[in-house]
Chains A and B, each alone.
Chain A
């Protein structure tokens, strides 16, 4: 135990509290994040403002340090778990207040692959960035992806593979989407340890994402472009 003074969250002013939330997200302190979210709600902050300024802001720092090799998977899982605690409180309120939607993603690990650590990280970081995420879990055949695209109508399809034995399956999925004439309706992002940018291009994905932080940046960029295109076309 430290000798330093105990922090009383409710005694901090708004600015200090948000800074403290950044630190607490960084350290994966779920209860503290939940408490702070409730304090901000009591102080009449809009749910959307809490999401973007405090939670997304804090997760951006986590994402940067993950990208730069300062934080690793265990720390990011803890941070994402803390974020989730805050989101659980905000989610119904966001829906009620008609807060803007950042975008929606369907994500899943491909057939034959049980590895979901990277996929889960991407899902959590995407949620951390305000996206709605539908997680299909592991071992997804083409049909499972196509069904989800139809029912969920997401902006983005994310596929993950961690094995050299499973990564070619991503092409099977993309090829089927092309056959059905729906490939261009979605942004297709791929990721996983054995992949690289060249592979992503070769199989016809829109982008390869090296890690969860890059996935968030790429998703934002592509969704922004898609919205611009739609606005231009309208």
Chain B
């Protein structure tokens, strides 16, 4: 257990991760449609400021600006051959910020989805997914990332490919999925499915969980799903600060710092070891979350009713793990031999 994240998880009751990357970069002038990863080279000062903001707000972990750093995603900007370089720079800038923080701060190398659908439905093969994630992982490793952080995944195949890439790069990793469709991922994967998948992996993550999705309440329901699975691997809650609204040419999330503070405490009480935000979560949200986590004594795991009462209701009646499932799945065709 030589890596920093494992060490901190062993020492601490909870850890706070960071908040939004995209939202923050927009506020710094990123234009819609441009690749945030190019800023690692073109505007390293702004990326350092992004990381510093999370550190100053009390994050123990921050994610590098490399979410769209796989070859598949960079191809859009004709930067596919810079996958290693851009991820390496993302981590190097992070390393500098973390090393002068005056306390242990984990540099987590963000790896987002390739954006492609895997075979047989799509064209992306397992081997090429592993290769793309591995290429990015080596860049992040070379830049000094403490851990790889795979996020916003929707398919189990892609999650497995990322796990394999982490193994090839010989790096510890964390992985989260986005449960944004009636409590499941877009591909229909439930919180229970993910807990079961993680337990089967050859190179299991240090922690796994949920990020992004639809609002903080849904995310907590997913966390309760991890809890109910009885998993022994620590889990992560990284929810959005409410719902996006369009104000004066910018995307603004309607979740207040107060709401995110409540969400953070509920997430911890629900059993999450690592708690952070995602889209819309700014420094003031993180500060409120940190304060609430420090000042609020640990309570019992919340019920769904309590979550709804404290921070609002859910986007769907069920999330695929309980008893009140929609029962309409039609019967499959009889065999035709």
Contact = CB atoms under 8 A, between A and B. Distances in A.
Interface string B183-218: 111111000000000000000000000000000000
B76 A138 contact: yes
B26 A165 contact: yes
B22 interface: yes
Contact of A198 (B121, B180, B246): B246
Contacts of B184: 69, 72
A232 interface: no
Dominant secondary structure at the B interface: loop
A112 B335 contact: no
A8 B33 CA distance: 52
B100 interface: no
Contacts of A112: 32-35, 76-77
Interface residues of A, number: 55
Interface string B306-337: 00000000001010100000101111111111
A27 to B, nearest CB: 5
Given A168-B251, A169-B32, A199-B244, A29 B187 contact: no
A64 to B, nearest CB: 8
Contacts of B30: 165
Contacts, number: 139
A65 B328 CA distance: 7
A117 B187 CA distance: 10
A77 B182 CA distance: 18
A172 B164 CA distance: 40
A222 B326 CA distance: 30
A74 B188 contact: yes
B290 interface: no
A117 B32 contact: no
A42 interface: no
Contacts of B318: 69
B104 interface: no
Nearest to B117: A117
A89 interface: no
A166 to B, nearest CB: 6
Contacts of A139: 76
Contacts of A193: 180, 186
Contact of B36 (A5, A29, A74, A165): A165
A111 interface: yes
A164 B117 CA distance: 20
Interface of A: 1-2, 4-7, 20, 23-24, 26-27, 29, 32, 61, 65, 68-75, 77-78, 81, 110-117, 138-139, 141, 162-169, 171-172, 193-196, 198-199, 202-203
